Amino acid sequence: MQITDQIIAEHGISKEEYQYILEILGREPKLVELGIFSVMWSEHASYKNSILQLKTLPKEGKMMLTETGEENAGVVDIGDNLAISFKIESHNHPSALEPYHGAATGVGGILRDIFTMGARPIAALNSLRFGNPQNPTVKHLLSEVVRGIADYGNCFGVPTVGGEIYFEDSYEGNPLVNAMAIGLLKHEDLAKSAAAGVGNAVIIVGAKTGRDGIHGATFASIELSEESEEKRTAVQVGDPFYEKLLLEATLEIIYAGLVVGIQDMGAAGLTCSSSEMAGKGEVGIEIDVSKVPQRESGMTTYEIMLSESQERMLVIVEPHNIAKVLSIFAKWDLDAVQIGTITDDKILRVKNQGVVEAEIPAEYLILGGKAPVYKRESQRPEYLDSLQNEDLSQINLDHNLNEILQQLLATPNIASKRNVISQYDHMVGISTTVEPGSDAAVIRIRESDKAIAASTDCNGRYCYLDPYEGTKAAVAEAARNVACSGAQPMAISNCLNFGNPYKPEVYYGFMECIRGMKDACLAFDTPVTGGNVSFYNESPEGAIYPTPVIAMLGLMQDFRKAQTQYFKTVGDKVFLLGPLAKTIGGSEYLKVIHHKIAGLPPRIDLALEKRVQDTVLELNEAGLTHSAHDLSEGGLAIALAESCFHPEQTFGFKGKFSHAQAAALCYFGEAGANIIISAAPEHQAAIQALAKKHQVELHELGEVTKEQSFIINDKIDVSALRLREAYETGITL
């Protein structure tokens, strides 16, 4: 086929990139080769517009067992020869067009990333963003995404233990579906993805290959538009029951020591797995696609190479182990076929019934090799100055605070997510120690006293108003949530959701978010283990808010010391660690009550934030607290009310404390480095001493009461039961 300018453009290849292809090959590419370059040089696979910025993030840590970005998922050491593999990744574009299958295959893909490492998945989380939930289309998207996540996770048999949901107008035409998974492995079972060993067999395992998902990686590297509706073939369909079989067979061959290298087939399918494995191992791979098990007739080489059919892996095996591997997969009733061998020429060579259809040096296809890399033009958006400098001092703060509190508790960004969470099985595996609803999920490591805590966090509105400070706040809140649960923050994965990087204002936001993440991760000693960049999150109405979602992992040595956010004992004193809020900039109060998105979001003092987290950890370790809850959306009054809503009963709160600022600003303003704790009165002196030791402000707020009333000074006096009703009925599916 003659490669025309139109065909080149349809593959998302620029004129400059096409010239580079001509230089690499020394000739015109064949159509299959153009397709391979197209998917491997797409932003989704190559990170060509982001890798220079990502390289500035902190990646070193004494607990890191894999190099950041080198494997399917990050792996950290938790002691006793055990390790945790974890990662968060986006499936935004597919979920916008086919919300059920897009979300379901997002879960399936991230689970494969985990068990490909030799880890058995023990938990899943998610981070979701939608437009106005009153919009029928948005309500449909939400319902179908949640159903897709629930069906895949529940059928596969992994507990979905936490996450977050935000609603903002900027996500109306481009929802975000970010899926996180966590797995447990022994050090000796860690599997790597690099191919090695000339003459070793290349085996495709798992499901048969179909035409679904062709050009999915390219599809994820363009803006959503009406034309996107025509690309529904780029949305895959998953089978969680089949993936469960694939999990067991994969772990069996890894545990048996039969694997030289292994990689999931996600974006770009066979193309990505074969070229990346060859490139990382600095070897060649030769495959014959006619040997690939196919579920549709008449598939071309192009279609087989670019198919993103789910539940498939590529495995490198020494010749004497081929029969063992094939027999194990046959036992699990899965396909396993040798389709090629490892060569010494560093070439990805693709044949069909012996006829060569593609020959490309693998190093030119892969991230970290010789694929194109760019730094795009950056320009500070004009809107930042006008919004950040808007005078909020004239905002009318004289309202009925009882009504405001109830209204905020019912707003979708604050209201209980129980109607969503209830669809997820969060107890399968019986290791969930702290269930969804508290600041962080806690999962016990079975046959051990250890537990891990996990949280996903990002306030996109903060990042819209100040991408640097907003990202610092996202890392800080994720770490604070984990610390409130009793775990020491140890590492992060990230999912970076942005608009079109070719727009200078978007790229500015991306660069500033990376800068904020770097500074915060250095302050908390939480290296970045890996993650995902998702650009082109735009609809005809515009780009989404910059949304760098942070997935934080924490470790606790004794699962029995896991802590939740809920009050537990009548008569306990309630304290605030950290300063009282001094701003309503970027707050939920300002948006919901005054219909404004403006001002400066909370400025994060990283040193103070670290001291506050160290304080709550030391208090919990010493057994001095009964609960800990961080302040986030809605501020102090909201966090106090949420602390009253124990799953088994509703507590009351009576508060009396002084503050210099206006009541609405103090109660509903938002700030970092804030944690509410409750404790027995006899521990007050010890708590004061520890706060002083860490140079952290300590404010006595009030006490937990039996009477189900919620009182703050003479400004708020309302039934705690009424507040709970507002909180629990704010979101319906």
Q: Which amino acid is at 558?
A: D
Using 50, 70 and 90 to split pLDDT, how confident is the model at 54?
very high
d(CA 301, CA 171): 37
Of 432-441, 592-601, 648-657, 711-720, which range is least confident?
432-441
Structure token pair of residue 602: 């909370």
In this model, does residue 234 exceed pLDDT 70? no
CB 369 within 8 A of CB 279: yes
d(CA 411, CA 726): 9
How far is CA 517 from each of CA 378, 379, 463, 599, 642, rounded to the nearest angstrom?
Answer: 18, 19, 12, 21, 28
Asked if 44 is an active-site residue, the reply is yes
Average pLDDT of the chain is 92
Q: Buried b / exposed e across 107-133, counting CB within 10 Å, b at 16+?
A: bbbbbbbbbbbbbbbbbbbbbbbbbeb
Give the DSSP per-residue string, 243-312.
Answer: HHHHHHHHHHHHHTT--SEEEE--TTHHHHHHHHHHHHHT-EEEEEGGGS-BSSTT--HHHHHH---SSE
Using 50, 70 and 90 to split pLDDT, how confident is the model at 433?
confident
Cβ within 8 Å of residue 44, ≥6 positions away? 217, 218, 220, 221, 267, 268, 534
pLDDT at 430: 62
d(CA 439, CA 162): 9
The domain defined by 192-371 folds into Phosphoribosyl-aminoimidazole Synthetase; Chain A, domain 2 (3.90.650)
Share of the chain above pLDDT 70, in %: 96
Give the pLDDT confidence of 244-298 residue by residue, as tens digits. 999 999 999 999 999 999 999 877 899 999 999 999 999 999 999 999 999 999 9
Give the pLDDT confidence of 315-333 residue by residue, as tens digits. 999 999 999 999 999 999 9
So where are the chain's domains? Answer: 41-190+416-557, 192-371, 563-733
d(CA 638, CA 631): 8
* DSSP letter (8 states) at residue 51: H
Using 50, 70 and 90 to split pLDDT, how confident is the model at 229?
very low
Pairing of strands 627-630, 573-577: unpaired
pLDDT at 227: 47
pLDDT at 418: 86
Q: What size, in residues, is the chain? A: 733
Using 50, 70 and 90 to split pLDDT, how confident is the model at 155?
very high
> Which of 11, 91, 101, 699 is labelled catalytic?
91
Alpha-carbon 361 to chain mean position: 33
Q: Which amino acid is at 484?
A: C
Using 50, 70 and 90 to split pLDDT, how confident is the model at 429?
low
Cβ within 8 Å of residue 649, ≥6 positions away? none
Helix (H), strand (E) counts: the chain: 25, 29
**pTM exceeds 0.85, yes or no:** yes
Give the pLDDT confidence of 492-524 residue by residue, as tens digits. 999 999 999 999 999 999 999 999 999 999 999
Taking CA 71 as the corner, what is the angle to CA 559 and CA 193, rounded to the nearest 5 degrees? Answer: 120
**CATH of region 41-190+416-557:** 3.30.1330.10
> Which of 44, 93, 101, 215 is labelled catalytic?
44
CATH class assigned to 563-733 = alpha beta
Q: Considering just the CA atoms, what is the radius of gyration of the chain in Å?
A: 26
Q: Buried b / exposed e across 476-495, counting CB within 10 Å, b at 16+?
A: bbbbbbbbbbbbbbbbbbbb
Cβ within 8 Å of residue 320, ≥6 positions away? none
Q: Which residues pair with 528 in a beta bridge?
A: 492
Dihedral sign for Cα 710, 716, 718, 724, please: negative
Give the pLDDT confidence of 349-405 residue by residue, as tens digits. 999 999 999 999 999 999 878 999 998 999 999 999 999 999 998 898 888 999 999
Asked if 91 is an active-site residue, the reply is yes
Q: Which of 522, 515, 412 minimizes the C-alpha distance to 470?
A: 515
pLDDT at 666: 95
pLDDT at 216: 47
In this model, does residue 722 exceed pLDDT 70? yes
Give the pLDDT confidence of 686-703 residue by residue, as tens digits. 999 999 999 999 999 999
Q: Report phi then psi at 403, rounded to 5.
A: -65, -40
Do domains 41-190+416-557 and 563-733 share one topology? The answer is no
CB 110 within 8 A of CB 88: yes
Share of the chain above pLDDT 90, in %: 83
